[in-house]
């Protein structure tokens, strides 16, 4: 155990990310890191006059011990800790909001592989990210923490209140939908099983057991192969919709009634139209990876589309700044400030997607087919060293500017051409570069991909574009 006289801690630089702290358990993330986060974050809360911190954890095998050590660190900083136990990340956000805590920490590896884990934080009712995470690292290294009498910890089951609040915004009445859910062995399982029992209709839940080994498939609903089981079940049952969650249930994936996958920028159109009925003229935010179709459709529905940086903390902050009632990312983070609290919550988004589907009076597949056809790539990921990924994007941007290209640098580079657009940005959570391209024709898409490939090659990367076409 540490005390103030001896406490100081150096985090591996790769773990202090833009909007969370994340690493490989036993390699770049250890119990000592969890203690240091608690000790330092608790001190930051104390210096703002706070004393109460909520803590939750996902279902990973390493989460119980990391959470226990984190709580030790928080208590050493004098914090009164409310331990809500295992559940989805948004349930912790809910607890922090309704209990009006001064801070919150979720132990979660999100959608990363089973050997990863990490920490998502709130300071007050706001996301804790960017420079704040770097400050935490500096304070820990300097041993700059408060001297405090030991705090305390109590457990609190918030799940019943959370489920009741989710159900409060169900608008479907007794409308009996046939829904297949895939919890992906993630942290939503127990809450989801109780939620669907209270909803009308037929509900089938796949992989409900919380299992940090993720035996069925990787818990990332943006990757089509992870949705194969859900697609098969939707088709077999003739379901109205399929809904999937990531490992900590702050991201959602949707499959329509024919088993076709809807991407985040597609179902956000459905949600935007629904929200704009009651908030005409509102600003709707989407990240730089989203289709131009989304921004055009928001405008067509009377909204003000705003393109912003990828990252749940960045989007939440922009929503608060602009008063936006709805925002979303390609990755399936959906944020409602309309009737909800402004944080990303896949369980709540599921309720609102079902509401919007019922309100639209058409099937999800009919909605999907009504959208303007474009050709685009799925999210393309290229391995790139942590130490190199941001500099590659900077090199590409510099070359494009020198060529006089039309470039948005909101987040990475998004390049508009006569054919359409392409995007290259560095992932904030993995050692990869992320790319997308979208055009009105096969030939146009081929030209965009060729330009992207040549830019990557000029920075010493050899991208593989096999299987990189998708129409939607």
Residue pLDDT tens, the chain, 472 long: 445 557 999 999 889 988 899 999 999 999 999 999 999 999 999 999 999 999 999 999 999 999 999 999 999 999 999 999 999 999 999 999 999 999 999 999 999 999 999 999 999 999 999 999 999 999 999 999 999 999 999 999 999 999 999 999 999 999 999 999 999 999 999 999 999 999 999 999 999 999 999 999 999 999 999 999 999 999 999 999 999 999 999 999 999 999 999 999 999 999 999 999 999 999 999 999 999 999 999 999 999 999 999 888 889 889 999 999 999 998 899 999 999 999 999 999 999 999 999 999 999 999 999 999 899 988 899 999 989 999 999 999 999 999 999 899 999 999 999 999 999 999 877 889 999 999 999 999 999 999 999 999 999 998 776 655 544 5
How far is 425 from 456, CA to CA, in rounded Å? 12
Instruction: Tell me the residue ranges of DSSP E strands in 130-288.
Output: 152-155, 178-182, 202-206, 241-245, 252-255, 261-262, 283-287
Rounded to the nearest 5°, which phi and psi values hold at 217? -170, 165
User: What positions carry a catalytic annotation?
Assistant: 110
| Cβ–Cβ under 8 Å, residues 457 and 448 | no
Can you tell me which residue has the tokens 């076409």? 469
Can you tell me which residue has the tokens 């949707």? 254
pLDDT score recorded for residue 149: 96
pLDDT score recorded for residue 468: 53
How far is 263 from 221, CA to CA, in rounded Å? 10
pLDDT score recorded for residue 1: 45
SS (H, E, C) 291-348: CHHHHHHHHHCCCEEEEECCCHHHHHHHHHHHCCCEEECCCCCEEECCCCCCCECHHH
φ/ψ region of 324 (left if φ > 0, alpha if ψ in -120 to 50, else beta) reads beta
Q: In the beta sheet, which residues pair with residue 104?
A: 54, 122
pLDDT score recorded for residue 180: 99
pLDDT score recorded for residue 14: 87
Q: Could you give the 3-state DSSP secondary structure of residue 66?
A: helix
Q: What angle do CA 230, 232, 238 make, to 5 degrees?
A: 95
Per-residue CA distances from 399 to 160, 175, 201, 357, 371 (Å): 55, 55, 55, 45, 35
Report all structural domains of the chain as residue ranges with CATH numbers, in order of start.
13-157 (3.40.120.10), 161-370 (3.40.120.10), 375-471 (3.30.310.50)
Q: What is the pTM of this model?
A: 0.93
| Cβ–Cβ under 8 Å, residues 74 and 172 | no
Under DSSP, the state recorded for 226 is G
Q: Count how many residues are written for the chain.
A: 472
Q: Tell which residue, 462, 448, 460, 271, has the closest CA to residue 357.
A: 271
Cα-to-chain-centroid distance, residue 370:
27
């Amino acid at each position: 155990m540490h005390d103030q006289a001896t406490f100081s801690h150096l985090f591996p630089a790769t773990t202090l990310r833009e909007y969370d702290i994340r690493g490989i358990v036993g390699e770049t993330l250890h119990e000592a890191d969890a203690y240091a986060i608690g000790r330092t974050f608790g001190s930051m809360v104390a210096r703002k006059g706070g004393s109460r911190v909520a803590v939750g954890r996902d279902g990973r095998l390493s989460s119980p011990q990391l959470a226990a050590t984190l709580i030790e660190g928080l208590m050493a900083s004098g914090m009164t800790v409310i331990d809500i136990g295992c559940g989805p990340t948004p349930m912790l956000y809910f607890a922090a909001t309704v209990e009006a805590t001064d801070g919150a920490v979720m132990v979660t590896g999100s959608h990363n592989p089973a050997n990863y884990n990490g920490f998502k934080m709130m300071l007050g009712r706001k996301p804790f990210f960017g420079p704040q995470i770097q400050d935490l690292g500096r304070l820990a290294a300097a041993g700059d923490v408060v001297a405090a009498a030991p705090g305390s910890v109590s457990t609190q089951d918030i799940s019943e209140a959370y489920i009741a609040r989710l159900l409060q915004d169900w608008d479907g009445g007794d409308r009996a939908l046939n829904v297949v859910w895939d919890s992906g062995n993630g942290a939503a399982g127990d809450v989801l099983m109780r939620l669907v029992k209270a909803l009308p209709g037929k509900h089938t839940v796949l992989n409900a057991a919380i299992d940090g080994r993720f035996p069925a498939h990787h818990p990332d609903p943006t990757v089509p192969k992870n949705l194969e089981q859900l697609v098969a079940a939707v088709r077999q049952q003739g379901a109205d919709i399929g809904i999937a969650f990531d490992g900590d249930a702050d991201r959602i994936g949707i499959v329509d009634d024919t088993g076709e996958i809807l991407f985040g920028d597609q179902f956000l159109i459905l949600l935007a139209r629904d929200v704009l009925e009651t908030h005409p003229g509102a600003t709707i935010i989407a990240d730089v990876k989203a289709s131009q179709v989304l921004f055009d459709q928001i405008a067509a529905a009377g909204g003000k589309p705003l393109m912003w940086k990828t990252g749940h903390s960045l989007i939440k902050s922009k929503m608060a700044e602009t008063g936006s009632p709805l925002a979303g990312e390609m990755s399936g983070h959906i944020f409602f400030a309309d009737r909800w609290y402004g944080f990303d919550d896949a369980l709540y988004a599921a309720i609102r997607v079902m509401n919007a589907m019922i309100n639209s009076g058409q099937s999800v597949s009919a909605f999907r087919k009504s959208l303007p056809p474009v050709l685009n790539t799925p999210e393309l990921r290229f391995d790139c060293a942590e130490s190199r990924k941001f500099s590659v994007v900077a090199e590409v941007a510099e070359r494009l500017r020198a060529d006089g290209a039309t470039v948005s640098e909101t987040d990475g580079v998004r390049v508009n051409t006569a054919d359409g657009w392409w995007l290259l940005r560095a992932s904030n959570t993995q050692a990869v570069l992320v790319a997308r391209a979208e055009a009105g024709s096969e030939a146009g898409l081929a030209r965009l991909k060729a330009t992207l490939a040549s830019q990557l090659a000029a920075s010493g990367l050899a991208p593989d574009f096999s299987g990189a076409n998708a129409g939607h």
